[in-house]
Structure 1
Amino acid sequence: MRTFGSLLVRGLIVGLFAGLLAGTFAYVMGEPRVDAAIAIEEAGAAHTHDHGNSAEPAAEEKPLVSREGQKAGLFLATSLYGVALGGMFAVGFTLLRRRLRTGNDAYAALGLAAAGFVGIVLVPFLKYPPNPPAVGNPDTITRRTVTYLLTLVIGLLAVWAGVAASRWAARYGELARLGGGVIAFLVTIVAAYLILPRINEVPETFPATLLWQFRFASLGTQATLWLLLGFGYAATVDDRRLTRQKVVAA
């Protein structure tokens, strides 16, 4: 019988490797887009200075961390995030395992990872997709942060509503179970999207291709993290794999 400590250690280790590989994806696919966005921002600032008034401009503020330092710190950030997420995933798996109603721990881990990705990543992304540097008004950062956190909570509630409705409708058959879960999930999301404010601070001059390349790189980083976390953790708790090992040992 697996102890909580064993499940937690597995989650931390899997989360570490998932974070490292997600950081690699972000470095290859996302950082070039960040560099391009920063170049656009700097070019816009230089243009404004050249066409500004005669008043003496304020001294240019240097970033606290250079771009080289930011790129090096990317792997540390994604690794730490992966470890933290892996720990929380292990806790969630321990608490919800018996409620997931699957005959195998690996399937339970995959289902939990899929639900987490949809609720924590995909739902907020569709309403408030991330923006690269040079996009966004600094004066609205608090508002944007609050609304994003609200969508995250709503995403988790929508997943819970879908699961609850699916179990309630299961008495009427498999089709009703599937339909009930999907409808409850979509109704919750659509209602939340209609209530929450629309925020669009992308300048008309910002390249649309670069914007969506950055956004999909961000989504791809999260997808890589959750995919590896789900399959990695499922591999460590696979009952069939453990059974085969016992048979071979015997």
Structure 2
Amino acid sequence: MTGRLLVRGMLVGLLAGLLAFGFAKIFGEPQVDRAIAFEESMAHMHGDAEEPELVSREVQSTFGLLTGVVVYSVSLGGIFALVFAYSLGRIGKVGPRGLSALLALAAFFVLIVVPELKYPANPPSVGNPDTIGLRTKVFFMMLLVSVVAAVIAINAARKIIANAGPWAGVISGVALYIVIVAVVASLFPTINEVPETFSADVLWKFRTSSLGIQLVLWTTLGLVFGPVAERLLQPRHAFAHA
């Protein structure tokens, strides 16, 4: 059964990837083009030599983008299906549809929203190339903190639910998670390398479109995988009540 859920998760991930690609192409790529134009204008002002493109911008924004998004989303769909299979029957009396939506919502906030609140996405042409290693390291450290905090909060919530009921458990778990990530985030370094002359409008649109891509992906996984899994787990026979 887990293997069949895995295959369906990857197929739903493929659908999510195609939708996310469409969103990225329409809303994200124009902001990347504007950011690249800014970088080129700044390089021209400083008299820097133009670096040769290893991959053309046209390929990057079409086939390259599609390939990257689809590979990521299919892999994510498979992992999502495995987590769904493990969680089934372990989170109260929640059906496949509710469980799928709940897992997607939790993953979106834990894996995407919280890390990006501390280290929001920047256009590829923005930032100091010498600090890319540091920026990557602290982002993934923040992501790890968010996941660990979620695990701690869930375990604490389950114990409180057993003693004080679901409302007290859920509220306590969420509060504990927020406290942990807030304290750790305050201790992590703040990185702001966006030039003062960079368009605030482009930066805002790029960050919202980046978040929108993830929102499309996780919404699709959460809402589509549930019914697909439900049909597999509770098949309906056309002549069962004939």
TM-score bucket (shorter structure): over 0.9
Equivalent in the alignment of 2:120: 129
In structure 2, which of residues 30, 35, 43 is the aligned counterpart of residue 37 of structure 1? Answer: 35
1:203-240, CA deviations, whole angstroms, 9 ceiling, x for partnerless residues?
11111111011000000001100110111111112269
Counterpart CA distance in 2 for 1:12 and 1:173 is: 36
TM norm structure 2: 0.92
Moved more, 13-22 or 231-240: 231-240
Shift of the alpha carbon at 1:162?
Answer: 2.5
Equivalent in the alignment of 1:53: none
1:60 aligns with 2:50: yes
1:219 aligns with 2:211: yes
1:141 aligns with 2:139: no
Shift of the alpha carbon at 1:192?
Answer: 1.4
TM norm structure 1: 0.90
Counterpart CA distance in 1 for 2:111 and 2:142 is: 8
Counterpart CA distance in 2 for 1:127 and 1:148 is: 8
Equivalent in the alignment of 2:183: 191
State the aligned residue count.
239
Shift of the alpha carbon at 1:109?
Answer: 1.4
Superposition pairs of residues 1-250 of structure 1, within 5 angstroms: 3-49=1-47, 59-72=49-62, 73-170=64-161, 171-238=163-230, 242=234, 245-246=236-237, 249-250=240-241
On the 8 A contact 1:41/1:133 being kept in 2, the answer is no
**CA 1:196–1:102: 2 relative to 1, 3 Å:** farther
Counterpart CA distance in 1 for 2:178 and 2:170 is: 12
Moved more, 132-141 or 29-38: 132-141
Moved more, 165-174 or 105-114: 165-174
Unaligned runs of 5+ in 2: none
RMSD: 1.8
Structure with larger Rg: 1
Percent identity of equivalent pairs? 42
Moved more, 139-148 or 233-242: 233-242
Unaligned runs of 5+ in 1: 50-56
Counterpart CA distance in 2 for 1:34 and 1:158 is: 33
